[in-house]
Structure 1
C-alpha cells in the first residue's frame, strides 16, 4: 500500500470513529478532550463511577443561537444538553448548525485560548434551569487537562533586571536571609537570582529595568544588576511571604501550585529551593530600599516613626519613614521586628 493510500485510510478511519455510533453492546465513554474540543462542559456525573452522564453546550450558555437567513422557525434560547450514548458527531453538528460563526472563531484558537474564551464572557442566562427537573444547572469548569493561559505563559517566561546602588546591596542586603547554622553568612551570589556588579551600566541601556522609572540611580558609583529569571515566580512568592507564610512553607506551596496549574514547562528549572526564595526576597528588599532612597532625594525633610506594642499578645516593633512629596504624604514601611 502506498503512503497516500495509507494516509487516506487513516483519515477515513478517524472520520468513521468520530461519526459512527458505538457498536451494539458497547458503551462509548466521554472523551477526555471533548470539553475543550467541542466547547461543552460536564454538569452531571455518575455517583458511583464518577463518569460524565450529562454535558451542556457552552456556546448556548454564553451566547444566543445564531439566526439563519430565510429560516421559517425562530431559534430557541434553550441550552442544548448531551447525554449517553455519547455521540461527538452530534456535538459537532450542533455547533456547525446553531453557532456557525462562533464555532469557526472558537476552532481557530489554541487550547489555552479556548479555555479562557468563556471566562471573559458574561452569562446571557444566569437562571439556567433544566426543563425536566427545574433544578439549577451548575456548569463545571473545563478541568480535564488544566492548561495555563497565554498571559500566564508570557509572564512566566518574562525576566526582569533591576539596577541598584552599590551601597544598598553591599551594606544593607549582603547578609539578609543567608545566615547559616554555624552563625556564619553563606556566600549566595551564585544562585539563579544574582546580583552582578556593573560598572558602566546605564538605566536607559534597554537591558536593565530600574524599578523607580526616575533614572535617579547614582551615576558616580558602581551599581549592581539584580536579575529575576521568572516574573511570575517572583510575584507569586512575594505574595506568599507577604501573607506571613514562612520560607520553608512557601517552597512546597509554590511547587504544588505550578504542578496543579501545569506551569512547570513555562518556568525555568524544575526545582525551587529555599535558598532561591530567600534570594528573591533579598531582591525585593533591595528594590524597595532603592525606591525609598530615590524618593528621599527629592524631599527636604522626613520623619522616622516608631510604633511598638510591648503589651500586645505578640510584641512588635515597626519603623516607618514618612515624608511629603507632590502634595501627598507617604508612609514607607522600613523595618519590622515581630
Structure 2
C-alpha cells in the first residue's frame, strides 16, 4: 500500500541544529547547491519545485505578487521550514510527488516537469545562477596558531593605505571545544569572495579591486556581486591567507618530508625573507609560495632563522622532524659556516638534512664574470652608445616594428636579448648607420663580436631557463649542467681537464710561431688558437668571411676576437665544471643526495636503499607507522625483483629521458608502489635552487609601480596568496580523494 504524505500533518522537529541528512534530498525534493571545499559538507540546498514556479495556488486577493525566486535552505537545518515552504508554495505538486513510492520515480517526476515547460530558459533572469552562487556562504575553520601568529604578523602594518578599516579581532571568533581552541569565520557571499580573490590575483591593488567591483555592478547590472568596500576587500584577502595556510597546515601534517627555498629581498618598503615550499601529494610534485616575511630588524642569518622558525612552528609544529632541505642563492648571510640561517636550520632538524646552493645562480655568476672580463671597455661603451641612440629613433622603431631592448651592463641576460634583436635587424640597422653616420656607428669587429656573443649566450640561456622550472629536480639540474658543459666543450673545442703543471699558458702572441701556438687555460681546461679558429669556421657565413679578411688586413683586431672566444668558452667550461649544488653542515661541497626517479633506482642497490632508510627513519616515522615502514621495504624489494625478472619493465623505465619530471616518471607505477613513490617524493621535494623564489619578488615591481611605499607586507602576501588560492583548493580536493589512510 502506497503511503501518502499529508502536507497538513507535517510537524516541526524538536532540534533546530540537526545535521543535514541525505535522505531529505529525496524526501523533500531538494538538490545540493553548495558544499564546503575542504570537508565536502553540505552548506546549502535549493527547492527543485521552485525552478518550475510557485503557481499551483490561487493568488486571487493577494496584495503582493508571489515571488518567483528559487528557495534556498542553509544551516541551521530545520525540516519544519522545508515542510512549511512546500505546504505554502507547492502543495499540489508536493502531494503528487509524495505519492511516488521510489526514488527513481521521484527523479523522473522532475524530468517530466522540465520536458513540459515551454521556453524554460526564458523564464529565468540573466543572473540567476550567479544570484544563487552569491547566496552560498564561505565557512572558515582556522587553527589558533595561524590566526594569532601568522595572520597577526602579516597584519602588523595594516594601519596604512586604509587597511585599518578591517579589524582582525572582529574578523575571527575564538571557539573553545573541550579545550581545543580554534577560530571560526564566515563570508555570506561566495561569488563576492571569489571575484575579489580573482581580481587581487592578477595584481590589482585593494583600492583598485574595490573600484572595479563598483563599476562592474553599476555599469553592467551585476547585482549579485553586492557592495564591496575597501574594508571588505582587506577582510576577504585576510580570509584567503588564513584559508591557504590552513590547507598548507593540513598538507604538512600528512607528508613525511618537505623542503623550502629562501631568498632575501630589499625591493619592498622593508626587506623581506621570501620562502617557497615543495612537497609531493598523490605522486605530484608541487612548488608553492610559502611566505614573504618582513625583516624589521637586522638583515642577518640569525634573524632570518628566528623569523622562519617562528612561522614554521605555527604552520607545522613538528617541522624540525619533517623539513628535509633548504635551498639558498649562496649569499654570505645564507651560507656562512656558523651564524647563518642554513646552518641553524640544519642543526635544528633531524639527520639526513640537505643543504642546496642554487645551481642556476652559480651558473649566472660564472657567465656574468666572463662578460665582465671578456667585454672590454670599447665593446661595452659601443654597445651602450648604440643602444641608447637606437632607442631614441622613433621613426626607425616604427619601421622595424619594435624598439631596441635596454642594455643593462650588470646582467648578461639583457645582453643576450639585445644582441638577438641586433642580429635580427642587422640589415636595416647597417643601412641606417651608413646613411646617417652617427658618432656611435659600430665597427665590423663589433658586429662580429655581436654574432659570437649571441651564439654563446643562446646555448647558455636555453639551459638556464630549464634550470628554473617549478618542478625541476636536483638530479635533473645536474644532468642539464653536465650537458651544457659538454655542449660548450664541443662548440669551443675546449680540451682538458689536465694537471696544471702539465700545461703552459701563453698570452704573448708576438713570440709564437706555427709550432708553438698560444694557449689560454683555466681550471685545467685550455683552448689554443687553432681551436679558436676552428670555432670561427663553424659560425655563420657573415662571421667566417669577415674574419678571413680581417686576418689579412687587421691582425690586431683578429687576435683580440680570438682571445675573446678563448676566454668565453674556457672560463665557462671551467666554471660549470666546479658547480656543486649540495653542501654539508660545514658548507663544503658534497654529493650525498640520493636518486628519486625509477630510472635512477635501477642502479640503486637494496643495501644503499637500507642505508637511506636508516638515515631518514626518524623523519619517516613522524608520518608513517612501523608497519608501513616494513611495507616500504617490501615494496622496494618487489621493485628490484621486477627489474630482474621482467625485461619489458626495465626497458619501459630506461626509455624515460634523464630530464623526465617526477610526476611523469612515477605515473605508470605509482599505484603498484605507493609508499615507494611517497618516500622518494619527499626527497624529490628538495629545491634545486632559488629561481622560483626570485620570481616572487617580481610581483613587487609589478604591483608597486612608481610608488615604493604603497606595498605593505600584507598587500604583498595577499597578492601572492590569492594567486595560488585555486591551486591549494585543488590540492585539498586531491587529499580528500586520497583519504587519511593514504601515506600521500
Where is the helix percentage greater, Structure 1 or Structure 2? 2
Q: TM-score band, normalised by the shorter chain?
A: 0.3 to 0.5
Where is the strand percentage greater, Structure 1 or Structure 2? 1
Q: Normalised by the size of structure 1, how large is the TM-score? A: 0.45
- By relative contact order (CA 8 Å, sep 6+), the higher-ranking structure is 2
Indicate the structure (1 or 2) with the bigger Cα radius of gyration: 2
